[in-house]
Amino acid sequence: MASRLSRIWPVVSRVRWSSALGTRCVSQTPKSSAAGAAVVSDLQPVSPALQDSHGHTEVNPFETNPDFHGFHHHDSFVDEWNMRLAFFFGISVAIVIGGTFIHYLPDHGMRQWARREAERLIKQREAEGLPLMTENYYEPGKIILPSSGDE
């Protein structure tokens, strides 16, 4: 019995029994004001204004569940799984996989192709010494105008 205990003692002694048993330890180090402001102080008497119609007070959910994620106030299992689902479907599926899908969408309206083609043509024409673009869109010789004069 003593040999068994001596084998598991290092592990056992490291467990924080007080937190496992549900009691709270009061830290003796003086808190800085910033840290103190972020923790709901339980040094104040509970005023009637803080109580709802049933006489319950605003309980800090972090006291019953230090790993409270903000999803379910009383059941830490549901709270944790809600967090996991929200992160998985929100970030891993919607943003990551969705973002990959969007990244690989085809070039709609050939806009990127048009930019690449223009750059290629500019490079080619500058190398050959040609003007980048002809001034007239239509050939002037092919335009047939009505004769001036009364119709």
Q: Identify whether the C-beta of residue 65 lies closer than 8 Å to the C-beta of residue 79.
A: yes
**Nearest distance, CB of residue 127 and other proteins, angstroms:** 30
Q: What letter would DSSP give residue 56?
A: -
> Count of residues binding other proteins (CB under 8 A)?
44
- Residue 114 within binding range of other proteins, rule CB under 8 A: no
- Residue 81 within binding range of other proteins, rule CB under 8 A: yes
Alpha helices per DSSP H over 1-129: 2-14, 17-21, 33-37, 61-64, 76-87, 98-103, 111-128
Residue selected from 10, 109, 141, 149 as contacting other proteins according to rule CB under 8 A: 109
The dihedrals phi and psi of 78, each to the nearest 5 degrees, come to -65, -40
Strand partners, 51: 57
Region near other proteins per CB under 8 A, out of 12-20, 73-81, 118-126, 136-144: 73-81
- Residue 76 within binding range of other proteins, rule CB under 8 A: no
Residue selected from 2, 105, 143, 145 as contacting other proteins according to rule CB under 8 A: 105
